[in-house]
Structure 1
Amino acid sequence: MTLRLELQDISKRYPAVVANDGINLRVEAGQIHAVLGENGAGKSTLMKIIYGAVQPDGGRMLWNGREVAVASPAAARALGIAMVFQHFSLFDTLTVTENIALGLPADTDLAKLAVRIADTARQYGLELEPQRHVHTLSVGECQRVEIVRALLAKPQLLILDEPTSVLTPSAVEKLFETLRQLASEGCSILYISHKLDEIRALCHTCTVVRGGKNAGQCDPSQESAASLSRMMIGAEPPVVTRRASTPGRAMLRVQRLNLPKSHPFATALQDVSLSVRAGEIVGIAGVSGNGQQELLAALSGEDLRAEAGAIMLGDTPVGRLPPGRRRALGFSFVPEERLGRGAVPDMSLADNVVLSLQTSATIRHGFLRHKAIVARAQAIIARFGVKAGGPQSPARSLSGGNLQKFIVGREVLRAPSVLVVAQPTWGVDVGAAAQIRAELLALRDAGCALLVVSEELDELFELSDRLMVMAKGRLSPPLEAADASVALVGQWMSGLWPQEAAHG
């Protein structure tokens, strides 16, 4: 078999951490090769080295049998290497077509490119509108842009970093068909995912990285999820257990919320009603781009167009209150977008604490209480096992999964009465995902009302007491989790639910 890529003793050191420590990797032509490891194990750094976005401190890279030094992503693309990053590299103010054109020759015809984008998206089942501006897209839709951009290059090696983290089961299966087709045509695929079942179903071989070093190689189809987990984190993931609870009074209510489109590509919200009680988790399922983004903006206070009484926190109408006023009433929020919305990339973890905790705990007489803020950040790092250089580390220096743990921890430690969470374990390894879910369940048991918006059906089934489905800006009637099934929820994702009045 022809070797497409070989890495020999690749090392990369940063001031606070050794990301890669003598890693070796061999990828054959037409092979789907998984790279598995927990958050902060060094996977993303290794992929960025292959793609030329990061330069190694030592080691050799061979491409089609010839030693190369990939100086930049442009050089990688010239070789035939394409990459889809976990954190998207898109400009909000440009359209889908304009973003994709940035990596192409200056004389590219945008009209013809838009047709190619639409054709490629349709061919691979990744629905896209080329003329939409990126700031109007959900995280799932941004993921599709990145994947289509990579596929347009017809690469010899395609690197995918958590490509299915915000895709629905049907979209994942369609993507797998695409990847198998690409592999059969000779394209090699490096596949990073924390979803062990996906790796077992899709990948031909798997290299495990732990603490920046090679920890083993296997045929994932011959392994169980438990054995892969043991190779990755040295133990099986903790089992998340749910206790029966008796919900209390409604802490969050949405009553007949109607919102017209805020821009031409938005989804209008139509007669949305729900309630979440103290000591209850309500899950919202649905395909990305069906109004979840608009509902979250209305709930968080980013969109203040709702009638005051359309959104209630306890007995207080908050539809017209800004985010800070809602937080003062016990509301917490974890957005789906980590960098830029959940955290300011260039600010330290300590400073990011202040974003959502502006109380006497962090501010006194108008002055920041730096020692208390640093102590708070340190408490989050310790409790949630966040791998970081310390409270002064900039948010952008963390791996995606570790930043997610920090943001969830920041909100959990506020002990809110209402917590709205979008994509709680996006890009998080199995051990950390189990921990985050256990923390959310502990909040529920302590009397918090939680609304969880996720495209991970398994996650919603594991967490939720009741389930609802969002489709085309409408919300289904609530469904007891015990009565839900993947088939039923999948059917409801098309908007095909009993036409009774949807209420929470």
Structure 2
Amino acid sequence: MQPHPRLALHGITKRYPAVLANDHVDLRVGAGEIHALLGENGAGKSTLMKIVYGVTQPDAGRIEWEGRPVTIRSPAEARQLGIGMVFQHFSLFETLTVAENISLALDSREPPAQLASRIREVSESYGLPIDPLRLVHSMSVGERQRVEIVRCLLQSPQLLIMDEPTSVLTPQAVRMLFDTLRRLASQNVSILYISHKLDEVRELCDTATVLRGGRVSGTATPRAESNESLARMMVGGDLRECHLTPREAGETRLELRGLTLASTDPFGTSLHSIDLNVRAGEIVGIAGVSGNGQSELLAAISGERRVGNAASVSICGSASGTLDAAQRRRLGLSFVPEERLGRGAVPEMSLADNALLTAHSAGLVRNGLVRSDAAREFARSTITAFDVKAGSELSPANSLSGGNLQKFIVGREVRLKPKVMVVSQPTWGVDVGAALRIRQALIDLRDSGAAVLVISEELDELYAICDRLAVLFRGKLSSVHPTSQMPVEKLGSWMAGEFAQ
């Protein structure tokens, strides 16, 4: 038994102009303990962890490390103590290689060849293989997550903070990561684990501290709890379930015919003869391991990449392959990308200004002039309808937690009442209550007659909201089948490429 916990927080308080993020929070993490930090989006989890890592300074309270008071003024000081952190939002330079990005984060300097060799060795030993010479801009979200995790593991931390580490990892990679974390814990490494996936928390974690509204609302032993009881601690009440009522689909709204598209990225995945139709009043889901052509497919549908054959993409009966993104939106297409900051929203712009990015056609611009009052009202209504925790509609996008920004982006697109909605990773890093709200919003959109296409690595999500399912593997799409006829074992084998191509 150690006389002191590895980390102890006493009365940590952090206030911002519009919100009290942490309100006298106490937390203790022992050596070799896997400790979960739970709470809704905006409950103060990420702020608390940034204080521990030295990114943010508390307004009150104290931190003890191995029984002695410390002041952590910067991430460099945190790393010197032995604290490492994997952030939910990536901090990678897209034009640099994996090895160059990792080198910038290391306090010691290693020759490039030696560092590349160590990256390969560590990443493979932990079941998260990455190519150290690969450029980050060519990597999928899931692959970038691996870089963040490996970068942290290379620092041999004594306390490892992980903020939604499995959000975009495949089920196989999650199993490998869990094996890694258990091995680290057995070596006396402490782990602070933030996740909205309650099944994972119950399987992996020894203890859980729950935050609600910036305060500790309770502690629990996850293995002794159910998902429902943990969720009640997080939200203060029972959650409503999503309901997908069977219905007859209508006419085809989105159709892909022999869609073939060579990837412009040497590490990307080309698309090969993809056929797909999504009808009014249905949700079609596409499963697949990250990096099998999802980003290329989304670019081809959204208009980010134009296709030489106009007929290969049809939106509401109009050949659209050669149209740009704005022209496709005018046909009734709405789109939610997997990257929130930078693609779904401009980080430094306010929520009202971000509403203008795609909702300008909803009466927010008249005669070429922006109607600021209308933009602010649209943003305010979206915040209210989707329970977005934000200071106001004038808050910049990057001031919101990841889950709250996702709710705003999805809400913005849903409120445009599109004829066709394409959504990628709709509930990545979103708490259980917000995930249910987003999923129900997609179901409601489907029930209103829209055609909805969802690309997700969350199999539970696809089974909960989709009428039909298909799998994308190495740029090829399987046949599409009713969800009721796709047992998870079959879907899993298809994700490994075991379907007729």
Tell me whether the two structures share a fold, i.e. TM-score over 0.5.
Answer: yes
- Give the C-alpha shift of residue 44 in structure 1: 0.2
CA RMSD of aligned residues (A): 1.0
- What letter matches 2:442 in structure 1? L
- Give the C-alpha shift of residue 360 in structure 1: 5.6
What residue number does 1:113 align with? 115
- What letter matches 2:12 in structure 1? I
What residue number does 1:270 align with? 272
- Give the C-alpha shift of residue 106 in structure 1: 6.7
Contact 1:258 1:306 in 2 (8 A): no
Contact 2:347 2:397 in 1 (8 A): yes
- What letter matches 1:428 in structure 2? V
Deviations 1:109-143 (A, max 9, x none): 11221121112221122131211111111111111
What residue number does 2:480 align with? 478
What residue number does 1:502 align with? none
Is there any run of 5+ residues in structure 1 with no aligned partner, and where? 500-504
Is residue 374 of structure 1 aligned with residue 373 of structure 2? no
- What letter matches 1:424 in structure 2? P
Moved more, 354-363 or 150-159: 354-363
Matches within 5 A, 1:16-165: 16-105=18-107, 107-165=109-167
Contact 2:53 2:72 in 1 (8 A): yes
What residue number does 1:308 align with? 310
- Secondary structure at the aligned position of 1:359 is classed as helix
- What letter matches 1:382 in structure 2? T
* Cα distance in 2 for residues equivalent to 1:57 and 1:104: 29
Is residue 292 of structure 1 aligned with residue 289 of structure 2? no
What residue number does 1:357 align with? 359
* Cα distance in 1 for residues equivalent to 2:308 and 2:86: 37
- What letter matches 1:418 in structure 2? V
- Secondary structure at the aligned position of 1:357 is classed as helix
Moved more, 122-131 or 139-148: 122-131
* Cα distance in 2 for residues equivalent to 1:69 and 1:412: 45
What residue number does 1:430 align with? 432
Deviations 1:449-473 (A, max 9, x none): 0000000000000011111111111
- Give the C-alpha shift of residue 255 in structure 1: 1.0
Summarize the Cα distance change of 1:483–1:302 in structure 2 as closer, same or farther, 3 Å threshold. Answer: same
* Cα distance in 2 for residues equivalent to 1:199 and 1:40: 19
Contact 1:257 1:306 in 2 (8 A): no
- Give the C-alpha shift of residue 107 in structure 1: 3.8
Contact 2:478 2:499 in 1 (8 A): yes
* Cα distance in 2 for residues equivalent to 1:217 and 1:291: 42
* Cα distance in 2 for residues equivalent to 1:263 and 1:439: 34
Matches within 5 A, 1:327-338: 327-338=329-340
What residue number does 2:8 align with? 6
Deviations 1:48-84 (A, max 9, x none): 0000001110111011111111111111111111100
Contact 1:94 1:133 in 2 (8 A): yes
- Secondary structure at the aligned position of 2:6 is classed as strand
Matches within 5 A, 1:185-334: 185-334=187-336
* Cα distance in 1 for residues equivalent to 2:176 and 2:254: 37
Is residue 496 of structure 1 aligned with residue 490 of structure 2? no
Contact 2:426 2:456 in 1 (8 A): yes
* Cα distance in 2 for residues equivalent to 1:104 and 1:291: 32
Q: 2:411 aligns with which of 405, 409, 412?
A: 409
What residue number does 1:346 align with? 348
Contact 1:97 1:113 in 2 (8 A): yes
* Cα distance in 2 for residues equivalent to 1:360 and 1:236: 35
Summarize the Cα distance change of 1:72–1:230 in structure 2 as closer, same or farther, 3 Å threshold. Answer: same
What residue number does 1:171 align with? 173
- Give the C-alpha shift of residue 301 in structure 1: 1.0
Contact 2:427 2:435 in 1 (8 A): yes
Q: 1:461 aligns with which of 463, 472, 478?
A: 463
- Secondary structure at the aligned position of 1:497 is classed as coil
- What letter matches 1:140 in structure 2? G
**Structure 1 residue runs of 4+, over 6 Å off?**
none
* Cα distance in 2 for residues equivalent to 1:215 and 1:308: 56
* Cα distance in 2 for residues equivalent to 1:360 and 1:221: 48
- What letter matches 1:238 in structure 2? R
* Cα distance in 2 for residues equivalent to 1:432 and 1:107: 42
* Cα distance in 1 for residues equivalent to 2:207 and 2:308: 51
- Secondary structure at the aligned position of 2:255 is classed as strand
* Cα distance in 2 for residues equivalent to 1:11 and 1:221: 30
Is residue 399 of structure 1 aligned with residue 401 of structure 2? yes
- What letter matches 2:153 in structure 1? L
- Secondary structure at the aligned position of 2:9 is classed as strand
Summarize the Cα distance change of 1:107–1:179 in structure 2 as closer, same or farther, 3 Å threshold. Answer: closer
- Give the C-alpha shift of residue 261 in structure 1: 2.2
- Secondary structure at the aligned position of 1:112 is classed as helix
* Cα distance in 2 for residues equivalent to 1:360 and 1:25: 47
Contact 1:298 1:306 in 2 (8 A): no
- What letter matches 2:438 in structure 1? I
- Secondary structure at the aligned position of 1:171 is classed as helix
- What letter matches 1:251 in structure 2? R
Contact 2:316 2:332 in 1 (8 A): no
For normalisation by structure 2, the TM-score amounts to: 0.98
Moved more, 247-256 or 484-493: 484-493
For normalisation by structure 1, the TM-score amounts to: 0.98
* Cα distance in 2 for residues equivalent to 1:273 and 1:111: 44
- Secondary structure at the aligned position of 2:273 is classed as strand
- Secondary structure at the aligned position of 2:266 is classed as coil
Contact 1:8 1:60 in 2 (8 A): yes
What is the count of residue pairs matched by the alignment?
499
